[in-house]
Structure 1
Amino acid sequence: MSCSNCSDVESFGGGHRNCVCEVVREIKRIQDAATNNDCNPCGFTCFSEPLGGLVSPTRNQADTRVFTLLTKDGTPFFSTFLDENGPDCDCVSVFFRVNDFVDDCCVTLSVLRPLNTQKQEVDLLNEYGTGLNLRKLCKVRHFELTGTCITVDLRCFCGINCIADVFLDVCD
C-alpha cells in the first residue's frame, strides 16, 4: 500500500478516514474479543477473525496481533525499548501490539522484543548501529513484551503489516 497524502486516504469503509487508523482500531476490537476457537478457514489479513486467525490452524490461544507500521517512504517504523539486560544497542523493534486508543487516531502501542527460533533477542540494527538491517527481520519468529509503550498518531503512517497472532499473557 502506498499513498501520497496519508492524512487523506480513502478508507475501506468509505469517506476520508485514515486507513492505518481503521486497521489498528479493528485489531484492537479483535484482541478485545479474543476467543480460543479451533478453526478459521479465512485468509490471512489484518481483519482475520477470531484472534488467532493469522495462525493456521488456529489451535493455540492468542491475545495479541503483532504488526508493523510503514512510514510515508515505505520504511518500517521502529522504536527503542528499555532492555532489562542494561544499556546496549540492540534494544530496537519494529513490532507492536495495540494497547488502547488515546483519541480518534492516536494509540498507545506496546513495543515487542523480537526473538529468534531459540527465543533469543534479534538485534535489528545494522553493523554500525545507525539504522535497521531489514534482512534480520527474517530471523524473527517469536515476540515478548518489553514493558515499553509508545503513543503514536496513526495518521503519520501509510501502511500496516500484520505479522502473527501470539499469546503474550497480556493482563488487560
Structure 2
Amino acid sequence: MGCGKKFNDNVAGETIFGDDNCVCDVVRAIADAQEDVVDVACDVSCSRSIDNLLAPVSRNNLDTVPFILYGKDLKPFKAFGADIEFSGGRQRLDCTESFIFRVKEVSDDCCAVIELLTFDDEEPDAPGNQQGARCDKDPCEQIDGEEVRDLNRTGICITVDLKCFCAITCLPAVSVL
C-alpha cells in the first residue's frame, strides 16, 4: 500500500480507515480509544493494541497505545523537543528525542498533537532526566531491553501533519498516565 491509497480494516466491528490517509485514521482511532479509557478510568498490531485498550478485561489501567511513525521514505520519524532543567540555580534547556509517541488529539484535517515518550527508570517526569533516543539510529535501539514500566511521558508535545506519514507501528497498549 502506498501513500494516499485506501485500505480498510475493522476495530471492534467499525471501519477505522475512512479517508485517504490511513495513518491519520489509525492515530485518530487511538486518540478516541484513549479518551474513552481515561474518561472511564497478528499478536502486535494497531488493531490489536486498540482492541486491548478497549477490552473489558483491560480495566487493568491500560491507557495508551504508543506508536512509531514512518515518513514517506519509510524511515522512522524521530522527534526532538526541550524542557527546562534547573542546574545550580540556573534554568537550562534540556533536549529530548524519541521515536515513540502518544497521541493527545487529532483535528479533522489530520493535524495531531503527539507527546514524546521515553524510557527513564530514575525520575520519569523530572527535567533533565529524559534521555529518550539520544544517539539511537532507529526505534529498536531505543526500545530493546527496556522494561515496559519504564516507558514514561515527557510532557513534550509536537504538532504534526499526519498526511506526511505513510506508515505507523503500534506497540502493545501500556499505562503511562
TM normalised by structure 1 equals 0.70
What secondary structure, in the 3-state scheme, does the structure 2 residue paired with 1:80 have?
strand
Match of residue 108 from structure 1:
113
Deviations 1:51-107 (A, max 9, x none): 176xxx846211111111011222211111324545455x11111111111233111
Is the deviation greater in 100-109 or in 132-141? 132-141
Q: How does 1:82-121 map to 2 (within 5 A)?
A: 82-85=82-85, 86-88=92-94, 91-115=96-120, 121=130
Whether the 8 Å CA contact 2:81–2:156 is kept in 1: the answer is yes
Aligned amino acid, residue 53 of structure 2: L
Match of residue 156 from structure 2:
148
Q: How many residues are paired up?
A: 153
Match of residue 138 from structure 1:
144
Q: Rate the CA distance shift 1:126–1:18 in 2: closer, same or farther, 3 A.
A: same
Whether the 8 Å CA contact 1:110–1:149 is kept in 2: the answer is yes
Gaps of 5+ in 2: 9-14, 86-91
Q: Rate the CA distance shift 1:158–1:117 in 2: closer, same or farther, 3 A.
A: farther
Q: Rate the CA distance shift 1:117–1:51 in 2: closer, same or farther, 3 A.
A: farther
CA offset at residue 15 of structure 1? Answer: 7.2
Match of residue 27 from structure 2:
24
Match of residue 7 from structure 2:
11
Aligned amino acid, residue 75 of structure 1: K
Whether the 8 Å CA contact 1:70–1:76 is kept in 2: the answer is yes
CA offset at residue 19 of structure 1? Answer: 0.9
Aligned amino acid, residue 143 of structure 2: L
Hey, which of these two has a bigger chunk of helix by percent? Answer: 2
Gaps of 5+ in 1: 37-41
Match of residue 51 from structure 1:
53
RMSD over aligned CA atoms reads 3.2
Match of residue 61 from structure 2:
61
What secondary structure, in the 3-state scheme, does the structure 2 residue paired with 1:28 have?
helix
Match of residue 39 from structure 1:
none
Hey, which of these two has a bigger chunk of strand by percent? Answer: 2
TM normalised by structure 2 equals 0.69
Aligned amino acid, residue 133 of structure 2: L
Would you say 1:125 and 2:134 are equivalent positions? yes
1:117 & 1:139 partners in 2: Cα distance?
A: 16
